[in-house]
Amino acid sequence: MIDHNSTEVWTGDITYGNYSNDTWYSVGGWNHPRFQAYLKEVKALPNLFEGFNLYVTGGLLEDWHSWDIDWVLTGPYEPEKIKMAMQWITMLGFKHKLYPDIHYSKEIFSLYDWQNNGTEYSDWLYELSNVFIKNGLKSDTSFMEPIDGMYRRWNNYPFEKNIKKHTEGYKYSKPVQIF
């Protein structure tokens, strides 16, 4: 059982696109004050999300410390609006030192729903940048395709790590819709 108010610190350089930081926090859940401050600022510009849905999913909602915040933006494919919303979330994540793992896809894939109905999902996943450097090591993103000022890759859900946890009996949480 984790302490949902605890924070762990990692010092190491991460560059994502034009954003960079050398200190990162992990948080123990949704109610953690650091995440709540980040969320409050994201919600301060609701006009960025008009016509879209924004979700938080992933480790933040589970029973472990999360080193990133998984955001999913869904809705119509409007590249300029999508980029503006993702830039807002990314800028604030770097400000709050919570790594913002934000992407856009037409629909959200829910591990919770997958565990209950077995439906797998494949779709394009769009990101702001194809540059990710951690402690000087650049990730290979050659598989990402530039399109409309973003980068996309084909994703098949669930991931192997999700299937492994499922076979071990772990039950995933539902994504939380913000807008």
Its pTM stands at 0.93
Residues 1-19 have pLDDT tens digits of 556 666 788 889 999 999 9
Residues 78-135 have pLDDT tens digits of 999 999 999 999 999 999 999 999 999 999 999 999 999 988 999 999 999 999 999 9
Question: Mean pLDDT in the chain?
Answer: 94
Q: What is the dihedral of CA 154, 148, 106, 19, to 10 degrees?
A: 80
Domain ranges of the chain: 7-177
Ordered strands of the 68-74 beta sheet = 145-147, 150-157, 121-127, 99-104, 68-74, 53-57, 176-177
